[in-house]
Amino acid sequence: MSIIFQEEKGLLTLHTKHSTYQMAVDRFGVLRHLYYGRRADGTEFYYPYTEYDISFSAVPPRTETEGFFSFDTCPQEYTTCGVGDYRPASIGVVNPDGSFCADFRYVSHRVLPGKYAIPGMPASHAAEGEAETLEIVLRDEVTDLSVVLRYGVFFENDVIARSAEIVNGSKGKTVLTRAFSMCLDFPYGKWDLLHFHGRHCLERQAERMPLGYTKQVLSSGRGHTSHHENNFCILCDENASEDHGECYGFMLVYSGNFKTEIERTQLNAVRIVSGINDDNFRWTLESGESFHTPEVLLSFSGGGLTALSHQYHEMIRSHICRGKFAKARRPVLINNWEATMFDFTTDKVIEIARQGAELGCELFVLDDGWFGARDSDHAGLGDWFVNERKMPGGLMPLIEAVQSFGMKFGIWIEPEMINEDSDLFRKHPDWALAVPGREPVRGRHQLVLDMTRKDVRDYLFDCFSALIANHPISYIKWDMNRCIAEVFSAELPPERQGEVFHRFTLGFYDLIGRLTESFPDVLFEGCSGGGGRYDAGAMYYTPQIWLSDDTDAIERVKIQYGSSFGYPVSTMGAHVSVAPNQQTGKNTPLHTRGIVAMSGTFGYEMDLNLLSEEEKEEVRQQIRTFKEHYWLIQDGLYYRLTDVVHNTAYAAWMFAAKDGSEALVNLVVTHVRPNYVPMHVRLKGLIPEAKYREEVEGTEGRVYTGAALMYGGYTFPALWADYPSCQVHFTRID
């Protein structure tokens, strides 16, 4: 049993393998948060919260006679609002009478087998026996507004999933101005915040900083998760490192606007709340209606950041990604985008595919430009029929050629967007989000379709199901290439326009959910100008996501490093592209580009015909190496061996088989300096007493014990010139 209720004390305790989460219904019926951290059986955590009078903290009625109580100082599972708690709130309401208050008290709870689901939204899932659910009902007795808190306990994964359902039990209309997924209070405040910020082509840059007394806000208001801030963050002990110290992860399973607020309070405590961004959010609940928040995945590690990452990697692979591709062997692909952009014909891409097949690629992906009048990014989005000028006879001549090379065929789509220069827009101008009387802002010359509308989603479903049903398509790249502005749906009344952002995300989930369920044999890869919608919500539908439009290997090292804190390499779309690189102009050796892309789903995004024979042979070898180590890379344990933020000279990372039988160690020199200083790293995840044979780029080397490699470390050969790299494989031999 991972959920324990001690009735006489009102104590609710959740255990995972290595963590404990505790809450209690107090003498006022308030559901207090007591503890989240290291596993502690048979322990009660009331004591950190002694109650003493804090001036200027409001006191609720009927509590004075029983010692001091204030919501302002009380740790809570889900906060009240408007009744004297001045820290970040998990909810904001406008009641039928216009007041802003909600004071939630415990009503009941129940424990259910299995993992709860959330209607219309992605959420973690579990097979029988893998998870349990705790459901707690809280209610405001004046307004009859309730909150149902749900906790999904994944014992083996050390993850607790949380979500809330807000139910309007009143006779009138209640407006939610904030509906967050969670609140977590810590009794102490010395934490570092690790978050992942960036911009287009530079996503998920890790930044670690101490929490000061100012409120920290991580958010996106762009309509998608964004390139600019990821919806995963970590709070860790100020002394925590990869291998030591306490760390807490917070990962939203959501792909729209989000907000995470973290405040170090007057009491030196820390509160974190997280959920849908409440900027431009207002959701009306009629009497009897309810609102489901997205889910957040909490995980705790008492043994440092690497263990926390491993917990999330396993969680995402086993309980977020779904369908036959979640853990399946994925194809090595060749994509034509950086090779041709919009300028291609069937014959031209056949040659790219042919060369890809010859060198070992397994899937050809036809990127943007195959439909409508799509000769540039000014036109065509919305017209999902083949451009016969570029591709006479449609897609079949290309598909047949690709298949004759022994490859599968995949194709790019961008369902949620529309160009004004398209037949679809000329026919349905009201299908785009726009504010009446206001000329719309554009992004990449395109508008955004109103995904809140069922007729729009049905049209798109029909287009893409016909496309997939009528062609042997094995893979879809689902793109989304602009941020949303002027969110206004022609179908909704003025007072419901604050729902459009979230309804857009629900519309995306509805469409991609229907398509992925209708075509379970198609591998869907997510994309949003690279990594603008790289989140656990999207991973529920697309087990791999194009990580960034930046294919520069040296920049990718940093992007992959930042992404690895929360997400497994099996979700990271990564390709080798040309040098000089199209985004940075850097000249990186093919070898280095290969090593970096191999730490992802792997593929090529270039015209391989333009390579020399020697380079082609190198590509052949890269694909062989990747295939040989496929399971070690995708299923092994991923270790960051250097801190790429502070070590700007070289980056190293490795994969270790879970049984310690082999390991693959990678090094990229990111800044060569004169007068060589040895590049030394300590390996991880090996068996100390086992013996390992070293193999550097196909050449057998020395035998080391695991202890030697982990405690003594490993020194890479001296490397110089522009961005060299090295890959070393270790095999257990005893």
Which three-class secondary structure state does DSSP give residue 52? coil
Q: Which is nearer to ligand GLA, 261 or 479 (CB)?
A: 479
Q: Which is nearer to ligand GLA, 374 or 502 (CB)?
A: 374
Residue 354 host element (H or E): helix 346-359
Q: Which is nearer to ligand GLA, 173 or 445 (CB)?
A: 445
Where are the extended beta strands (E) located within 553-698? 572-573, 603-604, 637-640, 650-656, 662-669, 680-681, 691-696
Q: Which is nearer to ligand GLA, 482 or 629 (CB)?
A: 482
Q: Which is nearer to ligand GLA, 195 or 200 (CB)?
A: 200
Which three-class secondary structure state does DSSP give residue 396? helix
Q: Which is nearer to ligand GLA, 250 or 546 (CB)?
A: 546
User: Which residue is associated with the tokens 């603008």?
Assistant: 532
Q: Whole-number minimum distance, CB 122 to ligand GLA, in Å?
A: 21
- 239 vs 67: CA distance, rounded Å: 37
Residue 706 host element (H or E): helix 706-707
Q: Whole-number minimum distance, CB 358 to ligand GLA, in Å?
A: 24
- 7 vs 710: CA distance, rounded Å: 48
Output DSSP code: residue 47.
Answer: T
Sign, CA torsion 385/528/257/180:
positive
Q: Whole-number minimum distance, CB 516 to ligand GLA, in Å?
A: 19
Please classify residue 546 by burial: count the beta carbons closer than 10 Å to its beta carbon, then call 0-12 exposed, 13-18 middle and 19+ buried: buried
Q: Give me the count of residues in the chain.
A: 734
Q: Residues 686, 691, 696, 698: what is their CA dihedral angle, to the nearest 10 degrees?
A: -110
- 380 vs 269: CA distance, rounded Å: 54
Q: Whole-number minimum distance, CB 54 to ligand GLA, in Å?
A: 51
Where are the extended beta strands (E) located within 114-225? 132-139, 145-154, 159-168, 174-186, 191-199, 202-210, 216-220
Q: Whole-number minimum distance, CB 531 to ligand GLA, in Å?
A: 9
- In the bound state, the residue with its beta carbon closest to ligand GLA is 368
Q: Whole-number minimum distance, CB 316 to ligand GLA, in Å?
A: 21
| Cβ contact 147:176 at 8 Å | no
- 20 vs 2: CA distance, rounded Å: 9
- 464 vs 462: CA distance, rounded Å: 6
Q: Whole-number minimum distance, CB 349 to ligand GLA, in Å?
A: 14
Q: Whole-number minimum distance, CB 722 to ligand GLA, in Å?
A: 25
| Cβ contact 366:605 at 8 Å | no
Q: Which is nearer to ligand GLA, 526 or 636 (CB)?
A: 526
| Cβ contact 686:664 at 8 Å | no
Q: Which is nearer to ligand GLA, 527 or 728 (CB)?
A: 527
Q: Whole-number minimum distance, CB 551 to ligand GLA, in Å?
A: 9
Bridge partners (DSSP) listed for residue 408: 363
Q: Whole-number minimum distance, CB 526 to ligand GLA, in Å?
A: 10
- 570 vs 630: CA distance, rounded Å: 10
Q: What is the largest CA-CA distance in the chain?
A: 86
Output DSSP code: residue 450.
Answer: -
Q: Which is nearer to ligand GLA, 92 or 372 (CB)?
A: 372
Q: Whole-number minimum distance, CB 380 to ligand GLA, in Å?
A: 11
| Token duo for residue 346 | 């069937």
Binding residues for ligand GLA, per CB under 6 A?
337, 367-368, 412, 479, 481, 527, 529-530, 546, 549
- 526 vs 521: CA distance, rounded Å: 16
186: Cβ contacts below 8 Å, ≥ 6 apart: 36, 235, 269, 270, 271, 272
| Cβ contact 191:209 at 8 Å | no
Q: Which is nearer to ligand GLA, 250 or 337 (CB)?
A: 337
User: Which residue is associated with the tokens 């050796």?
Assistant: 589
Strand-pair category, 283-285 with 174-186: antiparallel
Sign, CA torsion 387/390/392/396:
negative
Sign, CA torsion 642/643/647/648:
positive
Q: Which is nearer to ligand GLA, 34 or 527 (CB)?
A: 527
| Cβ contact 71:85 at 8 Å | yes
Where are the extended beta strands (E) located within 493-573? 523-526, 544-546, 572-573
Catalytic residues: 535, 615
